[in-house]
Amino acid sequence: MQQGFAAGNPIYTGDNGKILNTVGTLTRPWFGDDKQRTGYYCSKKWRDPNLTGGNANAAGQSNLFGDQNQILLRYSEIILDRAECKVRTGDVTGAMADLALVRNRAWGGIAPAVIKDSANFDGTPGAPITDPLQMVLSEYRHELSGEYSVFYDLCRAGTT
């Protein structure tokens, strides 16, 4: 990216003349290879070419959790994706084992066996979730709450 920008390649240059740090620009939006997607998702400064990942910069400061980084994918999401795939292909036992990995870590030991995701209007607990796919989708919502990627997980999963 830095080399392309330095060479004057316009695909690496933002509308402001500086190095691009998002997916597309206002005047040249990115639509993906299929020409059906749109740019500007996750457009926080996530592609600053000066960041060094987890390595400290010259001043000894780490950029890993700096203001220009964001977590786009976490290991727990990979495990939940695998659990979803296993449910959809009939390996419910394997899916529940993957789900337990994520839940047990989040609970700091052994997670409760019963998953309840809701409450009734009067404040009483909702019904336990018994459908394996709904268990995985519930954990997506809890584990990845507030992160960009959960939107795509839930859109892909549909409304069931």
Tens of pLDDT, residue by residue over 34-46, are 666 554 444 443 4
Mean pLDDT, to the nearest integer, of 108-116? 89
Cα 96 from Cα 106, distance rounded (Å): 15
**pLDDT digits over 52-82, tens only?**
555 555 666 655 555 555 556 788 889 999 9
pTM (two decimals):
0.55
* Rg for the chain, CA atoms, rounded: 21
φ, ψ for residue 75, nearest 5 deg? -60, -40
**pLDDT digits over 79-105, tens only?**
999 999 999 999 999 999 999 999 999
Mean pLDDT, to the nearest integer, of 129-146? 87
Cα 2 from Cα 129, distance rounded (Å): 49
